[in-house]
Amino acid sequence: MLISEKLQIAMNQQIANEFGASLQYIHIAAYFDDEDLLKFSQLFFDQAEEEKEHAMKFVHYILDAGGKVEIPAFPKSIASFSSAEEAVGAALAWEVEVTKQINALMQIAVDESDFIGQDFLRWFVTEQLEEISKMQTILGIIEKSVGHLLLAETVVMETMPAEGAAA
């Protein structure tokens, strides 16, 4: 087995955390859909899919390393919001928490001299910087729009083209 018991347990928890993030983004997308901000809604549905992909990366890593996948309960997500700022603030807070979780996983891999695990986790470390930056930018634009959410939505979509879109 190429993965320690300690890292395997922590990565299984991270699978739950990533699926939890996906659920959180679905709640946020639904909020924006209810507010008829369909571009924001789609952006967060896309984020939900990305989080599911992250969870699956951990699943495949554990399996490839000869470990066992045992996914615990997902963390509770926030299901309702009173404003766009609150919704995106929840997304930012979630990404900050995920960053702490990824850093803790990396620390376990470092402490155990698990170089394969460290290599795998480096992608997530970089990804978290991008995710936090994205949510900070969206939140900043919404805060500056002062009630003009359609304008904020347009600015965000122009500033952050869809993942995989041609430049």
- Tokens read off for 143: 């805060």
Q: Give the chain's length.
A: 167
Span 91-108, pLDDT tens digits: 999 999 999 999 999 999
**Residues 6 or more apart whose Cβ sits within 8 Å of residue 159:** 137, 141
CA distance 138 to 92: 9
Kindly report the CA angle at 86 between 54 and 44, in degrees rounded to 5?
Answer: 35
CA distance 167 to 156: 16
Segments of the chain scoring below 70 in pLDDT: 161-167
pTM over 0.75: yes
C-alpha distances (whole Å) from 163 to each of 10, 46, 66, 83, 116 are 29, 9, 32, 25, 28
Span 113-129, pLDDT tens digits: 999 999 999 999 999 99
Domains in the chain (CATH in brackets) are 5-159 (1.20.1260.10)
CA distance 102 to 85: 25
- Whose CA is closest to 1, among 125, 116, 133? 116
- State the pLDDT at residue 167: 35
